Amino acid sequence: MTSFIYFDYFLLLLLVFSLWIVLKFQLMRKKYNHLPSPKTNNIVDFFFGQYFTVNKFLSENNFIENLQLKWSKRFGSVYVYQFINQMICVTSEEDAIKKILIEKDFPKKPEIYKIVGYPFGERFLGRGLVTEIDKEKWRKRRSLFNHGFKKNVVSESIDHFNSKGNILIEKLNKAADLKGPICIFDEFNRMALDAIAKIAFDLELDSINKPESKLNGFIGKGLHGLTLKMTDPLIEMRPEKRNLIKDIRQSIRNLRKFSAERLTEIIKDFEETSYMSKTILSNILSRAKSNDDLDFELLIDDFVTFFIAGQETTANALTFCIFELGQNEQVLNKLKIEIESVLGGKKEISNEDVSRLVYTNAVFKEALRKWPPIAAFSRTTTEEIEICGKKIPANTWFYVSPFVMARSEKYFPQPDEFIPERFLNEHPFSKENKITSYTYFPFSLGPRNCIGQNFAMLEGKLVLAKFIQHFDFILDPNQSLNVVERTTLKPVYGV
């Protein structure tokens, strides 16, 4: 008898709980009723929204911003879609970008950056510069780093960029003799890792010549973990993914262990000899004023952050240059002519040379437009705002996407074509484009913009110029040209 009573209570509780969930979803959806949105048709859609559409799209070797772009074309410059228990707002309106990132300076969305900091409960980027949400703590930390990334300070590293570039060219020369295919992303990725290791931490990794270097593997797995967790919040419930997640967690632990060991060595050397060559780390150590600035776990967070932020992004930007140049013969020829006339056979490229590589600059910028390595970032509105005459409630998740913006016909005519001339001020086509800080922002904008953009631009242009200076190439016709997102955008097989 008593067990029947318990069962009745259980049913009642279940009913109340179900009603509460339905009400919660109903209220959430109602707040955005006035905004255009992809249709939800049935009871499953009511709870999951576009979850299955998104997952199907991604499983076809595509990336979420491409789906958002399609929706932008259908639903206009501001729309919303449901992703399980969240409503995601996307805008491709210049004024809206200005409002979100500059005027209101809305904070990063904590839930998203928590995944980047601690995916699957494992400390990865922790509370480093990318992931710190608390504005005051972030400001204090960023001020430690700012000096080392100023244009004139970065330009002092030109010898290191040349040296890493030359090692890469030497290696590729040997590969070219064999006339077989190579994966250019892997090569750029190792070069970028060696460059950031040397310039930021005075570490000689030489992963260019040691392809078995484990560090790359750890980083790659960690980034894959971020993408999995962000695109599928339910992934931990899938038994078939258990081993993969275990492997990812182990890679992250290995990465942090490696970082802790290297940092300990560097700091110990510094204490014993009072000497440290001029690096980004030495800058931090000498500028640190409090123990909090030197918190060892925080230093590891930043160490890992710089390896990741400084490597994959630039390597992918360079890879997309080759990806596009291999498909645009006229652009490639024009680029070759410029590089031949500015550099000739020069091995050491100077900062003055780089500033004369005007078309190279336009090619690199156009690659960043068409394929921004960081295709989107998240912000949360802290108050109600109005965009394109539509009210957007407080606590809205904005997916701010340089990709969606840069593929908008309104600002970039022929947006799917690779036309570097849009970035040449004296060229008539540049006048047809509307390139402003709010339509073109591959490095984000506002206070939380990319601290490494001068670094990336110098490294990218210099290495691209060296590559074109030395090699003719064709794209392997058997490869897929699909682009996917593994935290950064990348051609699926690396070109």
The CB-nearest residue to ligand HEM is 452
Is residue 165 close enough to count as binding ligand HEM by CB under 6 A?
no
**How many angstroms separate the Cα of 130 from the Cα of each of 141, 169, 198, 308, 452?**
11, 32, 21, 10, 11
| Least Cβ distance, residue 403 to ligand HEM (angstroms) | 11
Asked if 172 contacts 180 with a C-beta cutoff of 8 angstroms, the reply is no
Q: Which of 162, 216, 314, 328 binds ligand HEM (CB under 6 A)?
A: 314
- DSSP conformation letters of 143-177: HHHHGGGSHHHHHTTHHHHHHHHHHHHHHHHHHHH
Query: How does strand 78-83 pair with strand 86-91?
Result: antiparallel
> Using CB under 6 A as the criterion, what x/- string covers residues 178-197 for binding ligand HEM?
------------------x-
- Helix, strand, coil % in the chain, rounded to nearest 5: 60, 5, 30
Rule CB under 6 A: say whether 281 interacts with ligand HEM: no
Between helix 358-370 and helix 453-470 the angle, nearest 10°, is 110
| Shortest Å distance, C-beta 487 to ligand HEM | 10
Backbone angles phi, psi at 204, to 5 degrees: -100, 100
Binding residues among 121-150 for ligand HEM as defined by CB under 6 A: 129-130, 142
Taking the CA atoms of 353, 357, 363 and 366 in sequence, report the sign of the dihedral they define.
positive
For the CB of residue 421, give the shortest distance to ligand HEM in the complex, in Å: 21
Residues 459-478 that bind ligand HEM (CB under 6 A): none
Tell the smallest beta-carbon distance from residue 386 to ligand HEM (Å). Answer: 23
Task: Give the 3-state secondary structure of residue 86.
Answer: strand
Q: Is 183 annotated as a binding residue?
A: no
In terms of CB distance, is 146 or 173 closer to ligand HEM?
146
User: Which one of 163-171, 258-266, 336-344, 369-377 is the stretch in contact with ligand HEM (CB under 6 A)?
Assistant: 369-377
Q: How many residues does the chain have?
A: 495
Q: How far apart are CA 125 and CA 43, in angstroms?
A: 38
Among 80, 125, 172, 374, binds ligand HEM (CB under 6 A): 374
Residues 80-99, one symbol each (x = binds ligand HEM by CB under 6 A, - = not), give --------------------
Determine, following the binding rule CB under 6 A, whether residue 305 of this chain makes contact with ligand HEM.
yes
390 neighbors 340 (Cβ within 8 angstroms) = no
Binding residue for ligand HEM, selected from 377, 411, 438, 440, defined by CB under 6 A:
377
Site for ligand HEM, residues 397 to 456, rule: CB under 6 A? 442-444, 448, 450-452, 455-456
Query: Stretches 51-59, 241-249, 301-309, 346-354: which one binds ligand HEM (CB under 6 A)?
Result: 301-309
Nearer CB in complex with ligand HEM: 49/402:
402
CB of 442 to ligand HEM, least distance (A): 5
CB 411 within 8 A of CB 431: no
Strand ranges in 183-260 using DSSP code E only, listed in sequence order = none
Contacts from 180-185 at CB under 8 Å and sequence distance 24+?
181/476, 183/493, 183/494, 183/495, 184/318, 184/319, 184/322, 184/494, 184/495, 185/315, 185/316, 185/319, 185/490, 185/491, 185/494, 185/495
Q: Is beta strand 390-392 parallel, antiparallel or unpaired with respect to 86-91?
A: unpaired
Query: Which CB sits closer to ligand HEM, 69 or 450?
Result: 450
Nearer to ligand HEM, 156 or 432 (CB): 156
Closest approach, Cβ 142 to ligand HEM, in A, equals 5
Residues making up the binding site for heme: 450
Query: What residue ranges bind ligand HEM (CB under 6 A)?
Result: 129-130, 142, 196, 305-306, 309-310, 313-314, 317, 372-374, 377, 442-444, 448, 450-452, 455-456
